[in-house]
Structure 1
Amino acid sequence: MKIISFGVNNFRGITGGLENNTIEFNNSNTIFLLGQNNVGKSSFLKAYEFFYKNTSAAVEDIYRMNPENVIEFELVLQLDEFDFQKDSIANKKEGLKKWLNPDNLLKIKRVLKPKIGAKISFEKTENYTWDYEQNGWVAKNYGGIGLDTVFQAALPTPIFIKAMPTEAEGEAIINEILKQKANANLEDKDRLELKEAQAKIQELQDKLYNPESIQSYKEEVNKYFQSLFPNTKIELSEKDKTKWTENSIGKSFAIHFEQNNNGEKDETIPTSHERIGHGAVRSAIFSLLLMKDVAEEFERVDNRKDYIVLFEEPELFLHPKLMKQLRTLIYKVSETDTPYQVLCASHSPQMIDITKEKSSLVRMTKHNEGTRLFQINDEFLKDSKEIKTKEELKQEMNEILRFNPFICESFYADEVVLIEGPTEEIILRGYFNEVQIDKDIFIVNCGTVNNIPFFQKIFSRFNIKYHVICDSDAAEVKELDNYGLIPFETGIQKSIYQQLKSDYEKVDYSVGLFHVNVPTFEPSHQQESIKDNLKYSNNYLASDGKPYNENLYWKDVLKPNLNSEEINTVPIVKFLKNIVDHN
């Protein structure tokens, strides 16, 4: 069973309606949730765990602890052939038909209504299932995910990796995974033997946790963990004695970290959880999810288990090099042939890889009306680049990132300026280094003017305000339209104009300015209206290339005159001041 979408409203820091706070998981196994501090990213991760466990709500779980705010969860899941073969579902397959659409999607909602008395409490939880025959919600517990044993076993299990996990939390994760592995190892005949005689428990326990299986598991885990920390190895040891009861036969495992030098165990270095860095501990927990033998152990249909990994700031405590390696592992763990979906809340642009298939980026914002999510995935990127195959998209994205590896950093900005190359980049970065402004403005070097429409679509979709500075080249410059834009009718400038015009027509989005050098940067900065001492010199045109020339123009001409009154006659400076002043 896979999550297709999950919506949250009025839970902790999340508010503004389900329509504004829903993440689409369809065709995305790895999702990075981006946003400023305190916008509600961790609350969203916690929301699924809260939903899955059917946790009793507390006052602190209500948005702003206001009893008028009703907590809502809406979940869409897709059942597959494995789900229908599970005993708990197979017997009720016919009765489920009205709750499933032709794609086997199940849609449910849970509502928690606060009530006011001597203190705030909650009424009985209301549960709804979408009736595809009647095309509406039905207040019905049967068919509600997480509300009865029919579906509880099939729901993706949340594995929450906190920003600061304790030793107990790390051990809880490993024991949960090994328990699933143990269930897969247990044959039907063994289950019968267990019921017949407790004398069989020792023999069955060996089958559950046989040394070969545990050793294979450790080797697979360490293969990934040691790609991050080559000299450290995860070791497992039995934590306590078995409880000799029919209902509790499992072992409990503890984690310690063995240090190695040249392949030999180093006895002089402590191995406890407290003596290893937080980054290594969190990476170890994630590596525990990557064991190939568990991920592929689907021979017994009723033992297959899906997971959703909820990873809070995976970049914490890691060197940038290790961040990139962990990023690779995160995307690997949610490949289509494994039972994992991954939702990460992150502040690091280094964790994002927009070249990956089956991945999404979600930008979370907070404003007076509440929180809101904006999402892009590989299908959106492919459509925006107007290319047909995902292979072409990957090539295009790799070329863009090779040219400017800091593109992903712009997804965290409040505003961006889209420029076509290094000419404007040198001057813009120099200007923002010298002039103190209150805005968070990021400069995006698009590499070529032809890429600007693509980035316009991305920032528009992310609800990030963007401005454009480009050359008119051979396109005819006409009078401004009603929006104050130059209505180009030819060239790539036409596409830039059309996207700007489309964004200006949106009621819930603030788009920026469109500035143009006519016909290109150099002649536009040699106009007669510019003071002679501020003009772009012909001497630069005869020197060693554009980036070098623009650097001279900035360093020798513009920078020394930033405080002069005449500087406003220079187009690029006028453009920048307009952008800074634009509301």
Structure 2
Amino acid sequence: MKLHKFQIEGYRRHYNTDIMFSNASFLIGENNTGKSSILKAIELLLTDTSKLPESFFFKFFQDDYINTCREITLTAEFREVPDTASSWRGFKGRLFPYVETLPDGTEIKGNSIFYRKTFTPDMSRIIEMKSRKKTLNKEFEDVKKISDFIEKGLPKDSLKGTKYEKENQDTNLAKGKLEEFLNTFENEIELFDYSSAEDEWIQNPGGIAGNVLSRLPKVLYIPAHDGSENLGETKGTFQSILSELFTDVRNESDNYKKAQEYLNKLATEMDPEDSTTEFGKMMEGLNGVLDGVFTGIGLNAQAELSDADDAIKPKFSVSMTSNIPTSVEMQGTGVIRSTVFALLRYKAIRDMEKKSDGRSLIICFEEPELYLHPNAANQMRDTIYALATTSNNQIVCSTHSPYMIDLSKQVGQVLNYLSTNISAVETEDGTCFDCEVINNQPFNIQDAFKTLQSDEKDYVKLILKIDDYLARIFFAKNILIIEGDTEEIVLKETISLMPDELKKNVLCNWQIVRARGKATIISLVKYLKAMGITPYVMHDLDSGVTGAEVMNKPIKDALSDDSRLTVLENCIEDILGYTPPSSNKPHKAYQHTQVKWKSDYNKINPEWREVVEKIFT
């Protein structure tokens, strides 16, 4: 099961934001655009947090005072849900088929589910799932007692391990409790008819939150600003990863399979209502004391041992060793984060060696490049993609570094580009006013690549191999594609001499991509446009040059926007005012900028300045 789409409403800076996911998903954008909040929202969605303080709710200025959204709503679509999920408690009637058509025409079919959590200030959260509209079968309309449900076919064994096991079976269930009972046992007996034409959102699927939550992906959140607490003895990222590995090993153990048998025996010994056991005697004595102080007041304590996963929780004592054992507190932050990532890399290797059909895991990295040496950062990038290639892992990263993204990796990749703008916001009373909100533009790397023809794919693969930092294009507002090394050198020197305002605009808002040939320009333009990015292009006219002039029209057609196309007549050397050399073109261009311009923007020949200023302004 994989997270496919996530809608965040009213949480922190997110008024209404849609995020898309694949095997490896990246959150990029400027500071303060809500990237970390998305990771925290995923954690909120997939853990049993029941309440949120008012400080977590979206705030905005209205009539000189701060107004607050009254609801936080987190809505997720999960895909690749197995057909067998219809038999899971809480999932019956809640699987919806989907058909996804890829750019190359391939169809992918599967099941999805829709899961929603709603928080209001200082109130317990509401959990819902999208369901086919259901109607209670007539034979159960007047049934209120557990014993009557059993008589009509509910297996008595299905009560074991639930809160209803010791419920009085001959007493009418109250309305709220009856609804919860029906939701809990709808898989065990045909209680409802499900419509194929209508759907609705139903609360408390499966009766209690844990029934559905235990089937959704687990989440591991690795924050940016962490340190020795990550290697703590009771909590932290290191403990979480070790527990994941412990679970893998434990599930293969014969001793673990016997553990539940002994836990059941222990639960019998810990029965508070059995006065023949030591625990029962203790509870009887305790309640005698309580009754002596407060007449009629009693205490009931029930040991929950029905699930070995919950009952057996390991605690790992952690220290680090170089030549001698050293306390975690003495280690640098980079070493600690590298240790966490090394453990994740081992998990990726282990996952690839075994085929698992267990619960999937979403690993949320917040700025994984922080505190790492460049070599370690490269290894961290490889770890992210290694984890993403295993069937049970899904990776979500927030990053400010293009070096963490490798567009050449053949795994499903989605980049979510987050930005802010001013948009109309509607308040609870129906009034609208302008407010700063977060927008997201998702880029599906794999889908864009599949739109290319065979030879175009080869050109893009080549440029990705030569320049594995092409991901810089996603960290700029505007992209300029140029032909090659000569244009790059001349532009770099030009930018360094620009007036401050113009230089600031170029450095902050533009990314220059070197195509290394006209044929590659065509492929790059198509690749970027398939992701919703229309670049600017500058290239030589090359009139009379065999093999080069013929590329001009295909470039123009691929871009299909003449306002973004600059054609240098006849080549960049002609614009700069010297004869094109037969060899060492980049070196000759550099010499020209040093000798002729003399570090003065005003000494750059007017024809070239006009070209540059037209593009960048």
Same fold (TM over 0.5): yes
1:6/1:22 contact within 8 Å kept: yes
How many residues align? The count is: 471
1:109 CA displacement: 4.8
1:464 CA displacement: 5.8
Could you list the runs of 5+ residues in structure 1 that have no partner in the other structure?
Answer: 115-119, 201-242, 260-265, 477-489, 505-511, 526-534
2:583 corresponds to 1:577: no
SS of 1:354's partner is coil
Q: What is the TM-score of this pair, normalised by structure 2?
A: 0.67
2:112 corresponds to 1:76: no
1:397 CA displacement: 4.7
Structure 2 vs 1, CA of residues 387 and 271 (structure 1 numbering), >3 Å: closer, same or farther?
farther
1:449 CA displacement: 1.9
1:309/1:343 contact within 8 Å kept: yes
2:364 corresponds to 1:363: no
Structure 2 vs 1, CA of residues 445 and 293 (structure 1 numbering), >3 Å: closer, same or farther?
closer
1:111 CA displacement: 5.6
1:160/1:311 contact within 8 Å kept: yes
- Give the Cα separation in 2 of the matches to 1:414 and 1:332: 30
2:233 corresponds to 1:193: no
2:487 corresponds to 1:424: yes
- Give the Cα separation in 2 of the matches to 1:420 and 1:92: 59
1:318 CA displacement: 0.9
1:461 CA displacement: 5.9
2:413 corresponds to 1:329: no
Kindly report which structure 2 residues correspond to 1:134-283, keeping only aligned pairs within 5 A, or say none.
138-141=200-203, 143=205, 148-165=209-226, 166=229, 167-168=231-232, 169-181=236-248, 182-185=250-253, 187-197=256-266, 248-259=311-322, 266-267=323-324, 271-283=326-338
Structure 2 vs 1, CA of residues 577 and 63 (structure 1 numbering), >3 Å: closer, same or farther?
same
Quick one: which of 504, 508, 522 aligns to 1:438? 504
1:22 paired residue number: 19
Structure 2 vs 1, CA of residues 329 and 397 (structure 1 numbering), >3 Å: closer, same or farther?
farther
1:53 paired residue number: 47
1:275 CA displacement: 1.9
Structure 2 vs 1, CA of residues 160 and 515 (structure 1 numbering), >3 Å: closer, same or farther?
same
Structure 2 vs 1, CA of residues 335 and 521 (structure 1 numbering), >3 Å: closer, same or farther?
same
1:37 paired residue number: 31
**Offset from partner CA, 1:227-272 (integer Å, 9 cap, x none):** xxxxxxxxxxxxxxxx99897443310222111xxxxxx12xx522
1:496 CA displacement: 3.3
2:591 corresponds to 1:552: yes
Quick one: which of 567, 570, 577 aligns to 1:516? 567
Could you list the runs of 5+ residues in structure 2 that have no partner in the other structure?
Answer: 61-66, 100-108, 134-194, 270-302, 424-436
2:524 corresponds to 1:455: yes
Quote the RMSD (CA, aligned, Å).
3.7
1:287 paired residue number: 342
Between stretches 179-188 and 49-58, larger displacement belongs to 179-188
Amino acid at match of 2:376: L
Amino acid at match of 1:64: K
- Give the Cα separation in 2 of the matches to 1:457 and 1:40: 30
1:122 CA displacement: 5.3
Identity %, equivalent residues: 22
Quick one: which of 577, 581, 595 aligns to 1:541? 581
**Offset from partner CA, 1:266-306 (integer Å, 9 cap, x none):** 12xx522222222221232233333355676667x6xx221
1:163 CA displacement: 1.0
1:446/1:452 contact within 8 Å kept: yes
- Give the Cα separation in 1 of the matches to 2:409 and 2:81: 24
1:417/1:467 contact within 8 Å kept: yes
1:46 CA displacement: 1.0
1:236 paired residue number: none
- Give the Cα separation in 1 of the matches to 2:200 and 2:361: 28
Between stretches 169-178 and 39-48, larger displacement belongs to 169-178
- Give the Cα separation in 1 of the matches to 2:224 and 2:343: 16
**Offset from partner CA, 1:148-192 (integer Å, 9 cap, x none):** 344322211110011123233134313531452334535544421
Structure 2 vs 1, CA of residues 187 and 24 (structure 1 numbering), >3 Å: closer, same or farther?
same
